[in-house]
Every structure is written in structure tokens, then in C-alpha cells.
Amino acid sequence: MDVFAGGVAVVTGAGSGIGAGLAQRAGALGMTVVVADVNLATAQATVDAIVAAGGKAEAITVDVSRPEELDRLAETVFERHGEVRLLINNAGIETVGYTWEVPTARWEATLAINLHGVIHGVRAFVPRIIASGKEAWIGNLSSVGAFGQMPGQTAYTVTKHAVQAFSECLYLEMELKNLPIHVSSIVPGMIRTNIFNAEHGADEPGQSQGHRRAMFEMMRDYGMDLDEGCRLFLEQIAENRFWVHSQPEMSAQIIAGRVKFLTEQTPPVMPDLARQIAVD
């Protein structure tokens, strides 16, 4: 609260899931929250929840797959508020299916939303943040998937590996330019959200639904509560941490496996989970 209260937060993909949780947590801390989402109705639902809890928020429709819409978002926010203290590039979709079976449009949407949305969110907002001369925080949504391999979730995994690399380089660019902008890589483990709901995979190969169902049930049964995860994320961002985890033990285990894989240069190892939920 000492870091964020009274500032302006912009959260993309804030109509549901982790984005909605982060937006509501930011509102509870006393921030004015810009709830950005491609779906105005769900964005407004998040705003309503923030306002009902005594916070301040507004909904803006944004398709992060279109760089010009992120430019418009940044321009609108700075015209209305004059600053951004917290930018969370969260918008993302999960895609299930073998590489050669995922339709072209779904591949392009996954890359554009999950990766280009983060890149162009930074590109659109950072020059204005620099010009304001104020301290700011940027959180980019990575994933434990950024450190491993998962057949059947290749499109999503590729984007998260890329977001992780982008965030690492961005952190160093801020350091090199001695800018008061703190960069965090947000690494969710297993959090209860609707990202694996069946309706989100309507344009995926038909056989992907079994994979989605298995992942949804696993997150439902064993995942961390969304609000608790978002509380942890914002606390760590406020501490200027680059690595921001919901479940650090899970992250450490997966990252250790990645280190071993790179050090020993073995062929990729099939995750046990992949065999259990294999796309038929």
C-alpha cells in the first residue's frame, strides 16, 4: 500500500482470471484501476467489483493483438490521469493442440495476444512513463511454462518462453538507462482461473477438449486461490523483485529441471503430466 496507494494501475486482460484478480487487488490498495479487456462486459464486471468494494476503476475496450489499440490505450490513460504507476501486461490465451493441427488463425492469435500484447504494451506506455519522470512498475505475465516443455500446449509455451526473455532484457535496459522503472516477471504456478474452460478452445482441434478438461480439473482441485496468488504477486512487485512467484517451490522445481536439461544437453524429457493428459 505504501508503494501503490493513490497511483494509477493499468491491467490488460482484466475482465477475468489473473487480470481481474490483480485489478481488484490494486483497487483494494487504493489505486485508480484502468481495466482493459477485449470484452467490455467482463471488464465492466471487474470495475463493478472494485467500485462495490470502495475502489475506483474504469473499463476500456482494448484488443492487445493490435498495436495501435495499445497506443490508443496509453494515450487515453495519460490524457485522463497524467501518469501510470503500475502496468500489468497480463492479457493471454491458452491454446491446446498439436503444432500442425492448430489452425493458422489460432496460432496467430496466440502469438499476437500473449507475446505481441506484452511487447507493444511496453512500447506504447514506457515513453510516456519516462516523460512523466515518475517511478513506475511493470509486470509481464510469464509462467512456469516458460521453463519447460509441454506437448499439446506448444503455442502457449512458446509465447511464455519469449515473454520471459523479453522481460529479462527489458529489466537490463532499464538498468542501463538508469530509469526509475522496475520490471517484474510474474510467474504463476497453478492458480484457479477459467483459462482452460472449454469455451475458450472453440477454434482448436476437436480432440483438444480432453486435454483442456484434464487441466481444468487439476487446477480446480489443486490450484491456489486466485486472490491469494494476486496478493502475493503485488507484494513482490512492490518489493522491486524481478522474479515474482505464486508458488516458489513449484517454480524452483521446474527451473531446476530446466537447468539440468541445458547443462547436460539431453533431448527433451517427456513430462509425466503430458502422458496423463495426452492429446489423442
pLDDT along the chain (280 residues), means of 10: 97 97 98 98 98 98 98 98 98 94 96 98 98 97 95 95 98 98 96 71 65 73 88 98 97 96 95 69
Which of 98, 156, 171, 222 is flagged as catalytic? 156
Q: Has residue 158 been placed in a domain? A: yes
Q: Has residue 272 been placed in a domain? A: yes
CATH number at residue 67: 3.40.50.720
Q: Has residue 3 been placed in a domain? A: no
Backbone φ/ψ region at 161: left (φ over 0), alpha (ψ -120 to 50), beta: alpha
Q: Has residue 23 been placed in a domain? A: yes
Q: Has residue 2 been placed in a domain? A: no
Residue 145 sits in which domain range? 8-276
Q: Is residue 171 flagged as an active site residue?
A: no
Q: Has residue 144 been placed in a domain? A: yes
CA distance 18 to 16: 7
Count of domains observed in the chain: 1
Contact 62, 74 (CB under 8 A): no
Q: Has residue 119 been placed in a domain? A: yes
Give the Cβ contact number of residue 269 at 10 Å: 12
pLDDT at 207: 60
pTM: 0.92
Q: Has residue 1 been placed in a domain? A: no
Angle at 136 between CA 131 and CA 138, to 5 degrees: 115
pLDDT at 219: 76
pLDDT at 257: 95
